[in-house]
Amino acid sequence: MKRYDVLVVGAGPAGLSAAVEAARLGLRVAVYDENARPGGQLFKQIHKFFGSREHKAKIRGNKIGEELLQEAAAAGVEVMLNAAVIGVFAEKEVAVRVNEQILCRQADALIIATGASENMVNFPGWTLPGVLGAGAAQTMMNLHGVKPGERILLLGSGNVGLVVSYQLLQAGCAVVAVVDALPRIGGYGVHAAKIARCGVPFYTSHTIVRAEGVNQVTGAVIGELDKDRKIIPGSEKHLAVDTICLAVGLSPLSLLCALAGCAMEDNPAKSGYVPLVNRYGETSVAGIFAAGDVSGIEEASAAMIEGRIAGLAAAQRLGFLTQEDLDARVAVQERALASLRQGMFAPGSRGQTFTATTEGCPLSQNLLRQGYLTDTELSAYPGVVWAEGLHPIIECTQNIPCNPCRDACPKQCITVGATAGQITALPIFDAQKGCTGCGLCVAACSGQAIFLVDEEAGEITLPYEFLPLPQKGEQGLALGRSGQEICAAEVVDVKTAKVFDQTNLLTIRVPVQYARQARFFRRAP
Amino acid sequence: MTRINEHPILGVYQKGEPVEFTFDGQPLRGRAGEPLALALKAAGVLIHRYTAKLRQPRGIFCAIGRCTDCVMIVDGRPNVRTCLTPLAAGMDVRTQYGRGEKQ
Amino acid sequence: MMLERGDIGGYIPAPDDDLLVCRCEEISQGEIRRAIHDGLFTLTELRRFLRTGMGLCQGQTCGRLVKAIVAKELGVSPAELEPITARSPVRPVEMRVLARNQEQKNG
């Protein structure tokens, strides 16, 4: 039987990170993945990641995936694709199905990084062709260049739903509605805001009543929910859509852990049935580790750190690292993890409702319900400073772990938190530092929440990631934060640069009285 | 247009050679190596099968090989997950009725 | 949990009983609710009796939905229910492949 020092199940962000750490310390490491491509979901995540530099913030998920694969290859990790692990047995023996064969493999340490599966909801018509998972939509458009549909209803306003909605717009689809049964948008406000200003309406406290159609989806009916989550009679609304996309959460894919005999718990804070793990990610079975979504649903940035910790710990168990060395290295990773796990979206904050940021700024209720900030709410935040001349307006209003704006500014005009690890603080703009209007912060903001504004000139520079790219001199319409048309606008500049990483900077000119409202440009039909 | 020609982030997709295959005997075109399910989708085919009990139409649901709703009869073999099967020239793809027993 | 048949009352039809829950085996909410009220209180029993989660996808789509229905009918939280037994193979494998593998093992 073929043996490895470490066998990793799953070549996603956690599995690859674990493999890289262990292999770099000289262990013989193999990663088995049932898919034809490695990287897990990373290659579908074409948006810029949150976090700070150590979490690969402002780098797009697909690029992080490429980097991880290069690191794995350089470290000598063996990656086996189309290899589905179908069983785990005593003595860390695993059965792997490859084509027409079942292979047996054994390892001294096993790292289970099988990720998550999508939750589904059922409603009349949910089996019709045209109803699909959000992951399916991402696979179609981001991996294979096929649109999931033309007119789409998205069910679920967590980060997955919001990110997929934006990606659907980038693929050229119309997002007709984002519907969520909860009274609040579940994901980051900045993700909601960037689709709201494109004109996507949010229906919070709504649910899907039925999908219509005989052979495929031809429409959908949604209805408003009362406090007891019952549909309010007469609130039903028909939407002309051809596709219904479900983004209602993820569940840990932990069956292999249970099969391996690991102690398990059903923990709603971790979104499901998960193995119990210690600080190293080790389960109750010595030498079997779990890392990433399989041990609790979080962002991919957290999965990569958990992977690294498990990889290091496996190396220590096998005698490739001293306990002292391990603890020193794990402490660094734990600090990185702790900085990600702060703020109102942290795993520990699940189920809590916040009314203000840690700075004491009131949270925009409109952002939570409709996906956009109103003009009156805006001035409450430290990134919004109405100064003379060209300067950034940072519409970042929730405590999200993210600070690329601070690192992007060559003049140090932007600060995020008093200490390096405090990355959930709202960014503060200091007009005295001499902003040059370079626009680097606009392109660096993963939430696309920064705009350069020159009120006297009526000019707004905004991030733009759609095709076709408007041309200088082009006339069109300026849209407000809600996606409403507010006035005519002219494109006065279009900047594209390698450092912007596919985020173009579009400068539009509007009548000066609209400079505080105009946040998106719609090309003339 | 179901296919995206150019994407603002991903640019121009790398695609396989154009190939012909048949769906229920009717010739269709797709790109070699792309998932069969997406070649069908791009060609406007959404119904992959009809269920055993209720005879209801089904198509792509998860697109990653989990749900098995997209199975069809491919080159005579029933229950083939079309979302995981790369398209090859000349493939004979048929709507599956029920569990794919011989009709 | 020591519930006995009848403790949760008899099956009362609901307007959304037609709703399909298990897509593979085409099992409706009503069939599941009726089976629960007939005394099948665990996910494993339901699987054996109705085949919920026993189709090609092996419950990857409906597992959570079935669990929610059982929890609701029994008046407990889904987390309190005994999880389904994890068994190899956790991914669908054709009998052909398993049989050939056995042949190889036996030499």
Give the separation between CA A477 and CA A521, rounded to whole angstroms: 6
Domain C20-105 belongs in CATH node 1.10.20.140: no
Q: DSSP assignment of A132-185, as one string?
A: EEHHHHHIIIIIH-B-S-SEEEEE--SHHHHHHHHHHHHTT-EEEEEEESSSS-
Would you say residue C1 has pLDDT above 60? no
A58-75 pLDDT per residue, tens = 999 999 999 999 999 999
Query: Has residue B103 got a pLDDT over 60?
Result: no
pLDDT surpassing 80 at residue C2: no
Q: Which of A402, A380, A387 lies closest to A433 in space, CA to CA? A: A387
Separation in Å, CA of B53 to nearest CA in chain C: 7
Q: What is the pLDDT of residue B15?
A: 87
Mutate to test the interface with A, among B13, B14, B31, B60 (most CBs of A within 10 A): B60
CB-based contact C72:C16 (threshold 8 Å): no
CB atoms within 10 A of CB A485: 14
Q: What is the DSSP string of A443-497?
A: HH-TT--EEEEETTTTEEEEEE--SSPPPTT-EEEEE-TTS-EEEEEEEEEEE--
Low-confidence ranges of chain A (pLDDT < 50): none
Strand partners, A243: A152
| Residue A445 burial (10 A CB sphere; 0-12, 13-18, 19+) | buried
Are residues B79 and C23, on separate chains, in Cβ contact within 8 Å?
no
The structure tokens listed for A37 are: 């491509």
Residue type, A285: V
pLDDT of residue C56: 87
- Between the alpha carbon of residue A63 and those of residues A69, A70, A168, A379, the distances in Å are 10, 11, 19, 36
Find, among A417, A413, A392, the residue nearest to A403 by Cα. A417
Tens digit of pLDDT for each residue in C39-96?
Answer: 999 999 999 999 999 988 888 899 999 999 999 999 999 988 988 888 899 988 989 9
Residue-level pLDDT at C9: 87
The pLDDT, as a whole number, for residue C86 is 87
Residue C106 pLDDT class (50, 70, 90 cuts)? low
Task: Tell me the per-residue pLDDT of A216-235, one tens digit each, with 9 for 90 and over.
Answer: 999 999 999 999 999 999 99
Place of tokens 């073929």: A2
- Prediction ipTM score: 0.97
Angle CA C60–A83–C90, to nearest 5: 30
d(CA A275, CA A489) in angstroms, rounded, equals: 55
d(CA A311, CA A289): 9
The residue assigned the tokens 């085949």 is C51
pLDDT score of A405: 97
The answer, yes or no, to whether residue B1 has pLDDT greater than 80, is: no
Tell me the C-alpha distance between B40 and B23, whole Å.
8
User: What's the per-residue H, E or C state across A47-113?
Assistant: CECCECHHHCCCCEHHHHHHHHHHHHHHHCCEEECCEEEEEEEHHHEEEEEECCEEEEEEEEEEEEC
- Flag whether the pTM goes above 0.90: yes
Q: Chain A: which residues have CB within 8 Å of chain C?
A: 34, 84-89, 95, 97, 100-102, 117, 119-124, 126-127, 251, 255-256, 258-259, 264, 266-268, 272-273
